[in-house]
């Protein structure tokens, strides 16, 4: 339910809340009407009806305010903590001479994995980066997520001295790295009323063999999350373990 609310458009969410409020109002009005018919005394009928009507309106307002506040909180939390998967990185021992490791990159576009690519890398670390357009806080709240472009995959050394002395590897991830639109965004991104700034951003890590790195774009830039297959658990696995612990165990059949 929570993920459904977060993925919906803001107008749809508040429209659904409005419809829910109308249904609740109809329910309380029907309840009030039914209670009025059960009131026998004519002198107290108006007073009872007035009290029930005020109570219905108060409950309706409190309920509507609670729904709107809770939904606004969920959407604000999601807007400023959202992350979108943009690539999957896996490293393996080198397959070619004069290289340090082999890297498999799977770009992810709109949650759909694209064709896997393999690169021979030189360096102590791998680095992936690109362009970032950071929206303003109000645009994030309305549902706009960070606008980005992955442009380059590189081998990286731990020290600047190694970078100057040794051979490096770099691969373009786009057909045209020099892009006129992005160049303009870098120049005027901070002047746009709906954006904060445009800048380059890179995330890097060590090529740990056997592990997988999920590369995300967040509201502030790229991030990498390491997944260890030996300790990886699905979201439902923890719940199943708890349920298995608390649910009664079947009794062993009595031998005859």
| Sequence spans of domains, the chain | 2-80, 82-235
Cα–Cα distance measured from residue 205 to residue 213, given in angstroms and rounded to the nearest whole number: 9
Q: Compute the C-alpha angle 112/113/119, nearest 5°.
A: 155
Q: Which residues contact 114 (CB under 8 A, 6 or more apart)?
A: 106, 107, 108
Determine what percent of the chain is predicted with pLDDT higher than 90.
Answer: 38
**Which residue did the predictor score with more confidence, 91 or 40?**
91
Q: Which residue has the tokens 């009131």?
A: 39
**Mean pLDDT comparison of 24-33, 98-107, 171-180, 190-199, highest-scoring range:** 98-107
Cα–Cα distance measured from residue 23 to residue 20, given in angstroms and rounded to the nearest whole number: 5
For 180, phi then psi, to 5°, come to -65, -35
- Rg from Cα positions in the chain: 29
pLDDT exceeds 50 at position 210: yes
Span 219-237, mean pLDDT?
Answer: 74
- Return the exposure string of 24-39: e unless at least 16 CB atoms fall within 10 Å of the residue's CB, then b: bbeebeeebeeeeeee
- 230 — pLDDT class (breaks 50, 70, 90): low
Would residue 148 be called left, alpha or beta, if left means φ above 0 and alpha means ψ between -120 and 50 degrees?
beta
Is residue 75 helix, strand or coil?
helix
Cα–Cα distance measured from residue 142 to residue 145, given in angstroms and rounded to the nearest whole number: 9
pLDDT exceeds 50 at position 245: no
Measured in residues, the chain has a length of 256
């Amino acid at each position: 339910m929570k993920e459904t609310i977060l993925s919906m458009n803001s107008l749809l969410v508040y429209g659904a809340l409005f419809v829910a409020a109308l249904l609740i109002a109809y329910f309380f009005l029907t309840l009030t009407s039914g209670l009025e018919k059960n009131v026998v005394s004519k002198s107290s009928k108006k007073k009872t009806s007035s009290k029930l009507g005020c109570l219905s309106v108060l409950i309706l307002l409190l309920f509507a305010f609670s729904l709107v506040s809770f939904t606004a909180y969920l959407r604000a939390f999601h807007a400023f903590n959202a992350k979108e998967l943009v690539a999957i990185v896996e490293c393996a021992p080198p397959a070619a001479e004069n290289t340090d490791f082999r890297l498999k990159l799977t770009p992810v576009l709109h949650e759909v994995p694209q064709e896997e690519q393999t690169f021979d890398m030189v360096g102590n670390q791998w680095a992936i980066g690109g362009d970032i357009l950071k929206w303003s806080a109000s645009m994030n709240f309305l549902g706009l997520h960070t606008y980005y472009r992955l442009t380059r995959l590189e081998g990286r050394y731990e020290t600047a001295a190694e970078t100057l002395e040794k051979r490096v590897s770099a691969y373009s991830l786009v057909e045209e790295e020099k892009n006129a639109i992005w160049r303009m965004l870098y120049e005027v991104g901070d002047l746009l009323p709906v954006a904060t700034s445009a800048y380059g951003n890179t995330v890097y890590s060590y090529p740990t063999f056997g592990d997988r790195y999920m590369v995300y774009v967040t509201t502030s830039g790229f991030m990498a999350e390491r997944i260890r297959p030996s300790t990886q658990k699905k979201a439902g696995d923890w719940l199943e373990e708890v349920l298995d612990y608390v649910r009664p165990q079947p009794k062993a059949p009595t031998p005859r």
